[in-house]
Amino acid sequence: MNNFFFNLINKPEPIFFLIAGPCVIENYETTFLIAKHLKKITGRLNIPFVFKASFDKANRTSIQSFRGPGFDKGLDILNSIKKDLNIPVISDIHLPDQAEKAAEILDIIQIPALLCRQTDLILAACNTGKPVNIKKGQFLSPPECRNILNKAKESGNTNLCITERGSSFGYHNLVVDFRSIPIIKNLGVPVVFDATHSVQLPGGAIDSSAGERQFVPTLSKAAIAAGADGLFIETHPEPEKALCDGPNSLALNDMEALLSTLLGIKKIVG
């Protein structure tokens, strides 16, 4: 199948691709450090890598929370990192009129989970011709992703991917049903598993989200065993000091050991 995401893993040996980076762009220096480290370890492990960071977190729990540098400055930072390290980059857009300008820099456009049913946003992203990663809403069942994909395919863009990130049953928790991975794959698209947002506790700290990062390795292993084509992991050098989603972010120094373990699992399950 001629799909950008499938092509990332079209190799003789079993492999998965990685979308990883900090939740939000805090500044150029920290963002570059994370990207450089991830490029180094994924290169050593031969894992296809796409760097992610958000220029604007428009869905923070509190209006006082840090959102990022904004659209223009954030894209400039991503563009610099893309050129300096020669790596592909992905970020979220929130409004249809952001799509064309974002596509000038981003290699993949991402649709946030809470906006996955926004028809105009999906079509604007797909009409750029860039690959589009759509995060499944916490409020959707896996089969309902068919409706999202049908909207996207109206544009003629078939470079699509769905990211699973758990389901919400209220009370500050998300639950992952790993049956969703084969169910969504049967719709004909690659599936990424978001290992860090799946351990988020939305609104768990009342004025911010909490998280249980200790379960990231467990869920990542289960996702690879269940057939996930890619993993989405947010990481930070000091998660306790991260300006966004620190409680569910994996420590940067723990990434290589986890990825090595996951490669072993992938080789076993094929």
The pLDDT tens digits of the residues spanning 84-107 come to 999 999 999 999 999 999 999 999
Please give the Cα distance from 38 to 219 (Å, whole number): 20
What pLDDT is attached to residue 190?
97
pTM of the prediction?
0.95
What domains does the chain contain, in order, with CATH numbers? 15-269 (3.20.20.70)
Digit-by-digit pLDDT tens for the chain (270 residues) are 468 999 999 888 999 999 999 999 999 999 999 999 999 999 999 999 999 999 998 776 677 778 899 999 999 999 999 999 999 999 999 999 999 999 999 999 999 999 999 999 999 999 999 999 999 999 999 999 999 999 999 999 999 999 999 999 888 899 999 999 999 999 999 999 999 999 998 776 666 678 899 999 999 999 999 999 999 999 999 999 999 889 999 999 999 999 999 999 999 998
* C-alpha–C-alpha distance, residues 45 and 15, integer Å: 10
Residues 106-143: pLDDT tens digits? Answer: 999 999 999 999 999 999 999 999 999 999 999 999 99
Q: Can you list the pairs that 86-92 forms with residues at least 24 positions away whose Cβ atoms lie under 8 Å?
A: 87/35, 87/39, 87/49, 87/50, 87/51, 88/49, 88/50, 88/51, 89/50, 89/51, 89/52, 89/53, 90/19, 90/50, 90/51, 90/52, 90/133, 91/52, 91/53, 91/54, 91/55, 92/54, 92/56
List the structure tokens of 267. 């080789």
* C-alpha to C-alpha distances, 102 to 89, 91, 142, 163, 235, nearest whole angstrom: 11, 9, 28, 20, 23
